[in-house]
Chains A and B, each alone.
Chain A
Amino acid sequence: MVLYLKEFKIKWGMVIDLDRCTGCGACMVACQAENNIAPPVDASNKRYSLTWLLVYQLSNKQPYPNHDVAYMPRPCLQCGKPNCVPVCPVIATDKNQEGGIVSQVNARCIGCRYCMAACPYHARYFNWHDPVWPEGMEKTLTPDVSTRPRGVVEKCLFCHHRYMAARDKARIEDRDPNALAEGDYIPACVEMCPTGAMVFGDLENPEHKVHKLSKSPYAFRLLERLNTKPQVYYYSKREWVRKQGDNYLEHETVGGV
């Protein structure tokens, strides 16, 4: 069993400002539309839904007037040390490409769901139904994203097809596809966020905003102490929000500030 941390020269990542996120859900809708996620057959039980990006509601659990909430969008965190990758028996999921995005090959996945058991963030979703689009809606499908059959696991890939397109564009324009500028490649959720709470870029590139933001004392990663090393950072000036990013025992102080 190898629990490895692979290092990449480029590390695509996000910093999500939880003080700006209003929980409007535009990112979720954008994600569903961009990635050809079919409308649910029956939406009454959310535990069968496919929501690659899910907005959680956090509460400080104080009574009014001190009550405060925050909204936390959660894509696949593209862990630096993903628990989902080493467990997959057929290498249907892997972290092996420059950029550090954890891939998911639908055509190889056998649907054993071991990766779902491994991911602590519930970022992986099983296809409980074959996808069906209401008549006419199939015209809105994204041509670059394959649809997934029943019985396989899927997850957020940071709109990997957009990354490919950005690289192609750079090649055509005679630029280095391995040195994309900020804004050349952004996932659908980030593009759609009306408050600008989501920032996307190369965490390793000092010229990208995410690089600096991720180093802020207000930045934190979900369940930091489990050492999964996500490529998604959250940002909040509110201490209680940062505190809910991980399980802290009573006597422990929060990391950062």
Chain B
Amino acid sequence: MSDKELWPEGVQRCSLKLFIAWLAVIFAVLAWGVYAAYVVWSGGLIVTGMDNYFAFGLYIIFDLAVIALGAGAFFSGLLYYLIRVEGLKNIINLAVIIGFICYSGALLILTLEVGQPLRAWFGFWHPNVHSMLTEVIFCITVYMLVLTIEFIPIILENRKLNKIKFLHHMAHNFHVIMPLFAGVGAFLSFFHQGSLGGMYGVLFSRPYAFREGFFIWPWTFFLFILSAVASGPGFTMLVATLMEKMTGRKLVDFSVKALMGKISGTMLAIYLVFKYLDTWAWATGILPRSGLTFSEVFYGVAYGKWLLFSELIVCGLFPAILLLNAKTRNTPWILYSACTLVGIGVIINRYVQTAQTLAHPVMPFDRWYVYMPTWAEWAPSLAIIAYGALILSLAYRYLPVFPQERKLNQA
């Protein structure tokens, strides 16, 4: 038994047996996540580590992190379709698929996060135009639709499907209008990445997160956009590399990877300039005005200064230098390590913005609490990773994701 006719033309894939065994592993993790979802829906959020102090927890941190890492989709799309950076042609399909996974995954997690999931549509029906969250709800949903539209032509290019004339034409026509969707996607992404940052920046009574405004936006709005576009392309490249390691085949040329690294490094450098300014303005302006000192907003290991140091230096300045320098960037292991650090940096940022903001006692007689996620939060998060692995595995096996694969693997 083989499914060879479904593979893209001229490529090699593992045996169907091995593939099914791999899928079984994925489904096991997925099943655990689905069970956790059932427990959360039937028992309520009491099964999570959230409480009256920690209104947001791992669900939100995970969502913010995957949405930042999924930014490779919109940013690569913007660079390829609108600015015409040709090299990205060879990785754009993967970027779109990762974006699709990250956004749909985040939306799935969000259904667990809200206390009244059946009312989630109220966000569209009774929107509060002043709320950053309203902007997030609208933009993420619409962008999810755009990503789906961008994913469809890739699916239609499956060898079997593409033989059907109608689908063939449809795929072609989708391709023609893709720059339009890339533009719409970039616009939407810009706003919701920003609004996610704005969500924290407007908390004027939480000095850890509060930032001053630039027009109607707090400047965390722009910091979130910049940090997302700095980490997204690197993450896309890392996923391609991971897939290469797992399949034992070359999928994208190293020059493309280095290009992604260069994009990440450049955006990271721009981001860091603003992030350093922001940190300085926050420490010398916002904190003392709220009656707080720099040291006071850190606590223990869970909320220690080491996080800030790691975010700004180890996962910021250090990889930025490595990625901007052509010599280090063109050394594979350094490129991969640097992009991994950038990804970790953005995750730390989303963690502190969420957990530390809420943990920090604003009232002088209040105290710090440490947030610990429970299995009911880890399981759905891992399940989303498994869900991503599932989509990527199916896409890699049956869809022409990597245009260079055939050429790169010719003996």
Q: Which residues of A contact B (CB under 8 A)?
A: 1-3, 45, 47-49, 56-59, 72, 83, 86-91, 108-114, 116-122, 125-130, 149-153, 222-223, 225-228, 244-249, 252
- Stretch of B18-26, B180-188, B202-210 lying at the A interface: B202-210
Q: Which residues of B contact A119 (CB under 8 A)?
A: 205
Is the beta-carbon distance between A113 and B137 smaller than 8 angstroms?
no
Give the distance to chain B from A215, nearest Cβ to Cβ, in Å.
23
Closest chain A residue, CB of each to CB of B357: A117
**Residues of chain A contacted by B325 (CB below 8 angstroms):** none
> Are A126 and B122 in touch, CB under 8 angstroms?
no
> Are A126 and B55 closer than 8 Å at their CB atoms?
yes
Interchain nearest-CB distance for A114 vs B (Å): 5
Cβ of B126 and Cβ of A87 under 8 Å apart?
no
Query: Given A120-B206, A125-B52, 19 more contacts at CB 8 Å?
Result: A45-B51, A48-B51, A48-B52, A83-B205, A89-B127, A109-B115, A109-B116, A110-B120, A112-B115, A114-B133, A116-B52, A118-B205, A122-B363, A128-B51, A130-B44, A226-B207, A228-B205, A244-B364, A249-B292
Residue from the set A47, A90, A127, A128 with the largest chain B CB neighbour count within 10 Å: A90
Report the Cα distance A122→B51, complex, angstroms: 11
Going nearest first, the 3 A-B pairs with the smallest beta carbon separation are A111-B115, A247-B291, A151-B115
Q: Does B164 contact A (CB under 8 A)?
A: no
Residue on B nearest A86 in the bound complex, by CB: B130
Say whether B204 contacts A227, CB under 8 Å. yes
Contact of B56 among A87, A111, A113, A125 (CB under 8 A): A113
Residues of A close to B332: CB separation below 8 A:
none
Contacts of B198 in A (CB 8 A): 1
CA distance A119 to B55 in the complex (A): 11
Task: Tell me which residues across on chain B come within 8 A of A116, comparing CB atoms.
Answer: 52, 55
Contact of B409 with A by CB under 8 A: no
Cα separation A108 to B128 with both chains bound (whole Å): 12
Q: Which residues of A contact B292 (CB under 8 A)?
A: 247, 249
Highest count of chain A CB atoms <10 Å: which of B127, B134, B207, B364 = B364
Give A247's nearest chain B residue, CB to CB.
Answer: B291
Q: How far is the CA of A110 from the CA of B124 in the complex (A)?
A: 12
A117 in contact with B52 given A1-B130, A56-B365, A89-B131 (CB within 8 Å): no
